[in-house]
A and B are shown apart, each in its own frame.
Chain A
Amino acid sequence: MASGNRPGPTLKRGHELEAKFDALLREGFAPVEQAVDAAYDFRTVDGRWVIEVKHTLLSARDFYEVLLKLVFVLDEHREIEHGVLIAHLPRMSEERLRYEWDRLQKTLRPSVAERLGLVAVAADGALALPSEPNLYRLLAIAQQVFREEQASSESQSITRKWSAKTFEVWKVLLAAWLRSEGLLPIGEIAKRSGCSRPTVDAVLELLQSKGELVRGQNRSAGLAHLPRESLREALVLANELRLTRRFVDASGRRPDPLGLVRRLNEQKPNGVAFGGVVAARHYQPNFDLNGLPRVDVTVEREQSLISLTAVDPALRPVSSDERAPILVVHRSFRLDQFEAAPKSVLPFADPAEVLLDLYDLRLTEQAEEFVRAMRAQGGARV
């Protein structure tokens, strides 16, 4: 690439992909260095191996085009013993790839065919041809890198659909469904979520496209069932959308979540509600879990965080290598949505927040049971 040229999006993404492979190849397979020849991306120091990496090849034509370049290199440079294409082919099956590979191999001179290699992640599997240890090592690297790329792509797709506001609308619908409230007037949805009608309408359309929505005749709407697809998307982004913050007790003593619950009830910080296991036990008295792993709270406003830290001056945000917070704080942008309870001084977050907390705790079975219990209380079927 000539100096001074600014890479477009595709090229920039290609560079990022090469960087990932570079990091992994350096650590494992063989010493490699960035190649200067555009026909391939990596070359071993001794020049015996060259590797071309392609993020996405969508058609057989693209596949052959790239392989042909490698064939020319192998034909013109007899000192290169192996030329390998590493590629992601999301629209070709493994069987199809093998078929095309065999077709190509039959047309090549043996002196080239036997030096050409393929490492591919296909739509339904992965392969390394020929089957030999070095190529399988490359395949392991390719699968790791392409899997990360796919997850990142999926995450970006989800991010475009969800914002803090649309998320609040979704939680209002989920809470109403968990409570078996039936369909809510759209105006009520807007009121509870604190969002505009256009925002509510956008969420309803999104859920409708997923088959998760029921509309009533009187401009009302509600969830048809537990919205598993949108729930899955929400869980991917929940920490970001809920501005989740995690805290540890910096004193280094054994964590005492129950003690923290007592202090919260004694000091009653404003705008704070219990979530997580504490709230789950309120909504579902037979909640199946021993002990209290941590305290989840939902706060209405940023200032509430200050009053929380006043409850315990030893609370501090977790560092990257700490795994077990004692307090997890989630932000909700809705007001007046907490449920009061006579025994506990602090109110409780609504069931939608509680459900999200349980998934965050990895209490999947308990979360499913929570859903059943909430729906059963309302007399509805799950």
Chain B
Amino acid sequence: MSERLDPRVLFQLIASHVPDDLHENILIVGSLAAAYHFRDQLEFGGVNTKDADVIVQPAGAVAECRAIATRLLNDGWRRKDNCYPRPAPEPVRDLRAIRLYPPHSDAYFIELLAFPGAEQAEKQVWIPCQLSDGWYGVPSFRFLGLTGHNQQQAETGLRYAAPAMMALANLLSHPTLGTAMMSEAIDGRILLRSAKDLGRVLALAWLSTRDEVRAWGEEWEAALRARFPTEYPALAGQVGNGLRSLLDDADALDQARHALAYGLLAGKGVTAENLKAVGAQLLVDTIEPLGQRCANKT
């Protein structure tokens, strides 16, 4: 059973373990970033994850990824069990992600992600990355590039993704529920990947105030215009597609609830009805107005 980890402590550990001169190249995203942002609202004092998703920036910085991984390994960071080198860069699907424990602790591990280039059209790309012992893969998710907008800074100086941007990235990454399942069970249940990620959007909205969520709309529009200057009207109109599917699917919504009951919203007793209501508010307050504003600009 995972123990709960204080996100403040995790950020401090990461800041102390990662060399100072590399801090400006990393952006923490995912559940740890969300937990840190809402640290004062977490029940049970901590987050139920050991996985620190770390985007290496700036974009296209495969060389930076290699440099960071090499530096960490030289400093004593250890590969996670499922992180091992391949002899060749092909086939790409066989390459393992770079997941490293800090030198003297198993409290967390970091997974290196690539900051996507603006030209990336694929939803996900595996980028081969050669280290001293062989080839690894660094995933690049198209919409994670939005997390570069309005980066937040922790007390330690490390940067992490704003909740609004993580929400937008997840919404766009899942325009439908699809069929892809999580590779690992959450509290004994295998979930739809989309249910987990879209559920996190609802959690981010739930933990924020209504006014904060309404303000997401302006941030989203700015980020979309900056990142996708020609596509942004169409993307703005698609933001809510996957969310609507989730809200209309009782089983998928319950999967989302289940994931959140184990994660960000643990101990808060949030029900599927609560999530559905938050989703409805998010659509009315933020997503639909965004679509209307951007549609007028085509």
Chain A interface (Cβ < 8 Å from any Cβ of B) = 249-253, 256, 259, 312-314, 316
Contact = CB atoms under 8 A, between A and B. Distances in A.
B270 A252 contact: yes
Contact of A252 (B210, B211, B277): B277
B281 A312 contact: yes
B211 A253 contact: no
A313 B277 contact: yes
A240 B278 CA distance: 31
A253 B278 CA distance: 9
B83 interface: no
Please give me the 8 A-B residue pairs with the lowest Cβ-Cβ distance, nearest first: A252-B274, A314-B277, A250-B277, A313-B280, A251-B277, A251-B278, A314-B281, A259-B210
Interface of chain B, helix or strand or loop or mixed?
helix
A322 to B, nearest CB: 12
B271 interface: yes
A54 to B, nearest CB: 49
Contacts of A251: 206, 274, 277-278, 281
Contacts of A252: 206, 268-271, 273-274, 277-278
Given A250-B274, A251-B274, A252-B271, A314 B280 contact: yes
A133 B268 CA distance: 48
A256 B210 contact: yes
A102 to B, nearest CB: 61
A256 to B, nearest CB: 6
Given A250-B273, A250-B277, A251-B277, A259 B211 contact: yes
Nearest to A313: B280
Contacts of B278: 251-253, 314
B284 interface: yes
Contacts of B283: 313
Nearest to A252: B274
Nearest to A250: B277
B206 A253 contact: yes
B283 to A, nearest CB: 8
Contacts of B284: 312-313
Interface string B187-219: 000000000000000000010011100000000
Interface string B278-295: 101101100000000000
Contacts of B277: 249-252, 313-314, 316
Contacts of B273: 250, 252
